[in-house]
Structure 1
């Protein structure tokens, strides 16, 4: 009886120890394998300035890196891309600061803008540079002014002039007379392109004006796809152009923002984000 008891105790002691050693060894080997696998398959993190909606920030809020303009008029102040005209620096020609990151074709652009009451500015896109005038652009423009007379409309700088006033949905037709198809002056009256048709109303201009903040920040959203150009301010569609003028329209080009000839003024831009479509 005593012998059997000792044997049982010895047996109970030895078997669990062997099992424990075997189980522990398996866990160690498995853990080592998993750690080795994790290290070999882990992908390095890549820094990006693209947000969850696919927009990429194109102004860093600190420098003018990636932009080209006359430093007399353009600088970074309080984190904003600032255009300023003083009594000592009055302009003879409109001047732009131009993004150097490409010539977008189909895209969405979002930004915030604040402009003084005396100010006149705009966002040019699908534009071409003018060789004879420094920092000048010719092309589509989302108009912006301090009195909000023109803010939201589609104005083509140095070209076909007004394509759509605020509150208009417009189709720009090809000109019937081939001889005048490329003549800009012949088809402009009262600073407005004549080969256009207003096909719908987006609202009365004065009513839409109440949606725009005066001398405060406004959110601009441009959707440019194919030959359709939509300008939104604070989430409200202000103008909508379908450009069927195959001779004069542009499908890609430079992007830039403007300070306009006129009295001293200040305009500020921030949160400038671009998404290619």
Structure 2
């Protein structure tokens, strides 16, 4: 079982910011046959990240930054025990200020600083980017809200606008609880917020497309913010 390091340990060693510093014995990539909860509602067992930023309150994962200690780069809370391939991920989120996101099929780039790269289901308080498909440390925005995008082997995009992105945003509520559902099935990726599809990508660029990887939550550089997640469950693809 992995547990948060105590604040006393952090105070004793200013560079010790790991929730859990050890490597997991092995990352599970087996095919999902039943739903699996990634959060026990009590502590951050299975997750790694900066213990001064992430905590558990009222059965929720909470990420919080402050004005006196601004982030120098994006940082993530990473579920490192599994690297799921095909799945549906469901959870609830609530954002207060700035920007966040849910990483999936992502790779750990810097384990000491908790940096990851890969597909991201975006979230932002300004409600401009919430629901889009972004690739952190990669190709950037792959699909805006309301877009269905097919990416060719050569990286070129065929973009179809199936809905008005601004109108879709009216169904997303910053500062309140929202449902997020992410579907990753082969090269077909879909985001849903509050039951409505917000973006879709078919990624045929095999050189850069990811087939599996970790799940993680982002705290973004910028002003002080608070991000909450709960009811985090992986499901087999229907």
For the residues of structure 1 that align with 2:68 and 2:90, how far apart are their CA atoms?
32
Structure 2 equivalent of residue 272 of structure 1: 232
Matched, 1:76 2:76: no
The DSSP-based 3-state class of the residue aligned with 1:60 is: coil
Q: Deviations over 1:85-120 (max 9, x none)?
A: 10122111110011122100001000000001x221
Within a 5 Å distance, the mapping from 1:127-146 to structure 2 comes to 127-131=106-110, 134-146=113-125
Structure 1 equivalent of residue 169 of structure 2: 209
Query: Structure 2: which 5+ runs fail to align?
Result: 1-32
Within a 5 Å distance, the mapping from 1:93-108 to structure 2 comes to 93-108=73-88
Give the strand-richer structure, 1 or 2: 2
Within a 5 Å distance, the mapping from 1:192-207 to structure 2 comes to 195-198=156-159, 200-207=160-167
Matched, 1:157 2:136: yes
**Quick one: structure 1 residues 95 and 197, their matched pair in 2 at CA, closer, same or farther if it must change by over 3 Å?**
same
**Quick one: structure 1 residues 133 and 94, their matched pair in 2 at CA, closer, same or farther if it must change by over 3 Å?**
farther
For the residues of structure 2 that align with 1:78 and 1:196, how far apart are their CA atoms?
43
Structure 1 equivalent of residue 184 of structure 2: 224
Q: Deviations over 1:216-260 (max 9, x none)?
A: 000000010000000000000000000000111110011111100
Task: Kindly state the Cα deviation for residue 60 of structure 1 after the two structures are TM-superposed.
Answer: 1.0
For the residues of structure 2 that align with 1:220 and 1:169, how far apart are their CA atoms?
18
Task: Kindly state the Cα deviation for residue 133 of structure 1 after the two structures are TM-superposed.
Answer: 5.9
Within a 5 Å distance, the mapping from 1:32-181 to structure 2 comes to 54-116=34-96, 118-131=97-110, 134-175=113-154
Q: Deviations over 1:117-157 (max 9, x none)?
A: x2210000111111376111010000000111100000000
Structure 2 equivalent of residue 235 of structure 1: 195
For the residues of structure 2 that align with 1:80 and 1:202, how far apart are their CA atoms?
34
Q: Which has the larger radius of gyration?
A: 1
Structure 2 equivalent of residue 249 of structure 1: 209
The DSSP-based 3-state class of the residue aligned with 2:51 is: coil
After superposition, the CA RMSD in angstroms is 1.5
After the TM superposition, which segments of 4 or more aligned residues of structure 1 sit over 4 Å from their partners?
none
For the residues of structure 2 that align with 1:132 and 1:80, how far apart are their CA atoms?
24
Please give the TM-score of this superposition, normalised by the length of structure 2: 0.83
The DSSP-based 3-state class of the residue aligned with 2:110 is: coil
For the residues of structure 1 that align with 2:112 and 2:150, how far apart are their CA atoms?
31
Residues 192 and 199 of structure 2 are in contact (CA less than 8 Å); yes or no, is this contact kept in structure 1?
Answer: yes
For the residues of structure 1 that align with 2:219 and 2:48, how far apart are their CA atoms?
14
Please give the TM-score of this superposition, normalised by the length of structure 1: 0.71
